[in-house]
Amino acid sequence: MPGTLRDIPDFPAYVEGQTDHEYMAAAWAQGPLARNRLGIISGFSLANMDMINDDRWTRQLELEGMFISGVRDGPMFEFQRNALLFSNGQVHRNRRGPLVRSFATRVIAEMRPAIAARITSLIAPLRGAGSVDFVEHIAGPYPAQVIAALIGAPEADTSAFARHVYSAIRGLSHCSDEVRAESDMDMAELDSYVAGLIEQRRASPEADFLSTYLGRVADGPLSEDEIRAQLAALVLAGSDTTRGALASTVSQLLLHPEQWALLVQDPERWATPAVLEGLRYDPMIGSLPRITLEPREIEGILIPKGSFVAVSMLTALRDPDVYADPDSFDITRSDHPRLHPVFGGGPHRCLGEALARVELEEALKALARLVPDMRLDGPPVTLRGYGAVRSLSDMRVLL
């Protein structure tokens, strides 16, 4: 007989001073599943993560996250109503399909030189500048500018664009009324900016991503609101995640000088393994929530239909059944699964994986080449939270 929900322990009390990784490891030590104060059932292993990303018995949250936060309207609500990440089945396929080819590895590879030039232009002027906030001056602007350029924003607009993006994105998580109001204002700005770009390209098409995309969705099932939302989704999904991944990977490399030295000696050889390990060691996304569509037994417990389930990315990426010595940051490890789990799985697996990897690789190569003596000037970056997108602290480096 399988156990029931009653047999699942609650998450343990947080002990002051614990890191997120220590806290989640303590929750896992109680047993294979735990339940949080909202009733969400969390698993911890990589095998459980693969299981809950299977859309034959779970589905993505749609507007439930907004409802839980008490939000029922506004620009961020409308965005979620229309964006691919918060949809399922045919609606999701309609929204994702026209984007897929533009983000294929082969297509993104052609952008590598332009991406390398962009990160070089951010780092080069800072050489010898002394103490610099790495997040504010490098890790933040870089992905927002890359994605702004990709969707066709003129170069002069990319800095302002980045500011709207990082403000708007805060409204995707649970937040205060004040932050919600600011986020909604910036989301509205982003939406009307995207509307303007679309109008221009329709009037005078170019040989670029946006014109190709508009061609693919012309006369298709997507509404105008949906077309704008998919473009905004690229921008929002592609900025915060890459910003945190870059800051966190660089932190770890600088905390392990022998591994930073490997990268500096041979950036072409070590950039890719360093990116894979940085993404594993401290992921920007804390967990992937889903809703069950049918009852199923997990870890000996019968989970009813309609349950909220999630697996902690923090623990799955340190699963000792998959990774040797999982708490060590080691760019020389050879046990990464073929598909990196940090990008999720199933139909919502990250659309921007190839782009994120190229951005991160080119950033590490440029740093190793341009500022090989870079070192931390204060604490490393701290990623916080175990829900969806985690927050990050600033990080000063000496350049």
Binding residues for ligand HEM, per CB under 6 A? 84-85, 96, 103, 147, 233-234, 237-238, 241-242, 245, 279, 284-285, 288, 342-344, 348, 350-352, 355-356
Nearer to ligand HEM, 354 or 371 (CB): 354
CB of 12 to ligand HEM, least distance (A): 25
Nearer to ligand HEM, 246 or 397 (CB): 246
DSSP 272-329: HHHHHHHHHHS-SB-EEEEEESS-EEETTEEEPTT-EEEEEHHHHTT-TTTSSSTTS-
CB of 204 to ligand HEM, least distance (A): 25
Asked if residues 383 and 284 have their Cβ atoms less than 8 Å apart, the reply is yes
> What is the CA angle 269-272-274, rounded to 5?
95
CB of 179 to ligand HEM, least distance (A): 22
CB of 370 to ligand HEM, least distance (A): 22
Nearer to ligand HEM, 110 or 177 (CB): 110
CB of 250 to ligand HEM, least distance (A): 13
**Calpha distance 233→84 (Å, rounded):** 8
**Calpha distance 165→171 (Å, rounded):** 11
**Contacting residues for 8 by C-beta, under 8 A, at least 6 apart:** 31, 33, 34, 35, 41, 301
**Tokens in use for 259?**
């591994």
Residue nearest to ligand HEM (CB): 352
**Calpha distance 326→165 (Å, rounded):** 34
Nearer to ligand HEM, 356 or 395 (CB): 356
Nearer to ligand HEM, 187 or 355 (CB): 355
CB of 6 to ligand HEM, least distance (A): 28
**Calpha distance 113→118 (Å, rounded):** 9
Nearer to ligand HEM, 314 or 351 (CB): 351
Please name every residue paired with 392 in a beta bridge, in sequence order, or none if there are none. Answer: 383
